[in-house]
Amino acid sequence: MRVLITGGAKELGRVFSEVLGAQGHQLVITGRDENALRTAEAELRARGVDVEAHVADLGDPDATPKLIESLGGLDVLVNNGALGGPVGPTWQVDENEWWRTFEVNLRGTAFAANAAIRAMTSGRIINVVSNAGAHRWPYLTAYSVSKAAVIKLTENLAVELKRRRIAVLSYDPGMVDVGLMGRGCDVESGDPYVQRVTQWARSQRDQGRFTPVEQSAALLSRIVSGEFDHRSGELITPADG
Ligand SMILES: NC(=O)c1ccc[n+]([C@@H]2O[C@H](COP(=O)([O-])OP(=O)(O)OC[C@H]3O[C@@H](n4cnc5c(N)ncnc54)[C@H](OP(=O)(O)O)[C@@H]3O)[C@@H](O)[C@H]2O)c1
């Protein structure tokens, strides 16, 4: 299947690319960081993966939709790319940075999904979300609220697509020891709110609440294969693995 993974060159997205590439899917990966994209493309190709990498900033409302249009067909969109957003009391953080998080995490995800739906006859859209969207994450409200909006978007799209052979699912990959949470455990900062997040992330890891990243990628690959299409609109979590 032809699978586009936004943010597919780095961190959790890179693990997703490796696992899906090893299963023989044809990959298109995107991100902002051209060096990371070229490196990932070369390393994946060296392992025999059919992959092309493109710079496409999710903050630019046209970039990913135009890329999807130009592909001439797509089976699966994995909307993985996202920003962690600002950390701190909501009324004190930089409001432009707060809003920018919605432009990337919500508008970027929604417009990529719209373009994929227009380009697909059948397939699936997997919106990578977070427990922070299903519940809450005080002091990271841009992240939490943007992911909550994506969970609702998924539910609505699934109903609109009921008569078409396109499934839309939210996927919470669990807390994993790479990317946002992996870095979150290692940050050294004088900022009391960042320290609070770091302490919480470490406590979750120490209590064994992290999901092994291979397990998280294995569940994603089952969703990519169509195994969860009958649950279109729902939030799939590590508990479903
Ligand atoms: N790590 C976790 O424990 C965890 C837990 C729950 C959910 N998640 C979700 O999993 C996904 C990946 O998270 P992560 O931990 O790997 O985060 P990360 O380390 O911060 O990586 C973010 C990814 O998104 C891309 N990205 C960010 N802004 C972008 C933009 N404007 N345009 C295009 N790509 C952009 C980045 O690539 P560039 O820098 O090249 O743009 C990178 O590949 C996210 O949706 C996150 O919410 C992660």
Which ligand 1 atom lies nearest to the CA of residue 37?
40
| C-beta of 128 in contact with ligand 1 (< 6 A) | yes
Q: What is the pLDDT of residues 171-192, one digit of tens each?
A: 999 999 999 999 999 999 999 9
Do 147 and 80 lie in one domain? The reply is yes
* pLDDT the model gives residue 137: 97
The helix or strand, by DSSP H or E, that contains position 11, with its residue range, turns out to be: helix 11-22
Contact 25 CB / ligand 1 (< 6 Å): no
222: domain CATH number is: 3.40.50.720
User: Is the distance from the beta carbon of residue 132 to the nearest atom of ligand 1 less than 6 Å?
Assistant: no
Axis crossing angle, helix 34-46 with helix 11-22, rounded to the nearest 10 = 30
Residue 20 pLDDT class (50, 70, 90 cuts): very high
Is the same domain home to 48 and 133? yes
* Whether residue 204 sits in one domain with residue 134: no
**Closest residue (by CA) to atom 26 of ligand 1?**
81
Same domain? 189 vs 139: no
Say yes or no: 58 and 151 in one domain. Answer: yes
Question: What pLDDT shows up at residue 76?
Answer: 98
Banded model confidence at residue 67, pLDDT cuts 50, 70, 90: very high
Same domain for 55 and 120, yes or no, is yes
In this structure, the residue with its CA closest to atom 24 of ligand 1 is 81
| 126 Cβ closer than 6 Å to some ligand 1 atom | no
Pair 120, 49 in one domain: yes
Q: What is the DSSP letter of 85?
A: -
Same domain, 78 and 192: no
How many other β-carbons are positioned within 10 Å of the β-carbon of residue 199?
Answer: 12
Looking at the DSSP assignment, which residues form a beta bridge with residue 128? 171
Q: Is residue 51 within 6 Å of ligand 1 at its C-beta?
A: no
Q: What's the number of domains the chain is made of?
A: 2
Task: Please name the residue ranges forming H helices in 120-225.
Answer: 131-134, 141-160, 179-186, 192-206, 213-225
User: Are residue 121 and residue 144 in the same domain, yes or no?
Assistant: yes
HEC profile of 15-66: HHHHHHHHCCCEEEEEECCHHHHHHHHHHHHHCCCCEEEEECCCCCCCHHHH
Same domain, 79 and 188: no
Question: Are 194 and 120 in the same domain?
Answer: no
Contacts of 2 (CB under 8 A, 6+ apart): 25, 26, 27, 28, 71, 73, 74, 75, 76
User: Average model confidence (pLDDT) for the chain?
Assistant: 98
Range of the domain at 202: 176-210
Asked whether residue 153 falls in the same domain as residue 88, the answer is: yes
Q: Check residue 209 and give its pLDDT.
A: 97
Give the integer Cα–Cα distance in Å for 86 and 32.
19
pLDDT band with cut points at 50, 70 and 90 for residue 163 = very high
